[in-house]
Amino acid sequence: MMMYMMLVFLLMFFMGNLIFISKHKHLLSMLLMLEFIVLSIFFFLLVMISFYSYNFYMLMLFLVFSVCEGALGLSILVSMIRTHSNDYFQSFSLL
């Protein structure tokens, strides 16, 4: 049972990384893949903490930081759309 859950975690994590690397045209798709990777890490932590029967306070802390990361990403997306009228990386210059 534990091996199947680890296999599911690894599959989710590597598929999220593969799509994150290959789809780099839009900021929104990259943010969605980052959230998918965070979800897979959360799934891994949930399985490991429940397997070793520890407290779930670490999961709450992880969820708080992942929600803050998602809100920060969405605020960057909104400000980029307001200034450049799209979310393409080609139209955004760091200089």
CATH number of the domain residue 50 falls in: 1.10.287.3510
- Helical packing angle, 27-52 and 2-22, nearest 10°: 160
Q: How many domains does the chain have?
A: 1
CA distances from 94 to 30, 80, 84 (A): 18, 12, 13
Residue 62 lies in a domain: yes
d(C-alpha 67, C-alpha 61), whole Å:
10
Residue 91 lies in a domain: no
Residue 66 has a pLDDT of 92
The per-residue pLDDT string of the chain (95 residues; one tens digit each, 9 = 90 and over) reads 777 878 888 888 898 888 888 867 788 888 888 899 999 999 888 888 888 878 888 889 999 999 999 999 899 888 888 887 877 766 666 65
Number of CB atoms found within 10 A of residue 30's CB? 19
The tokens for 53 are 């029967």
d(C-alpha 80, C-alpha 77), whole Å:
5
Answer yes or no: pTM beyond 0.75. Answer: yes
Range of the domain at 12: 2-84
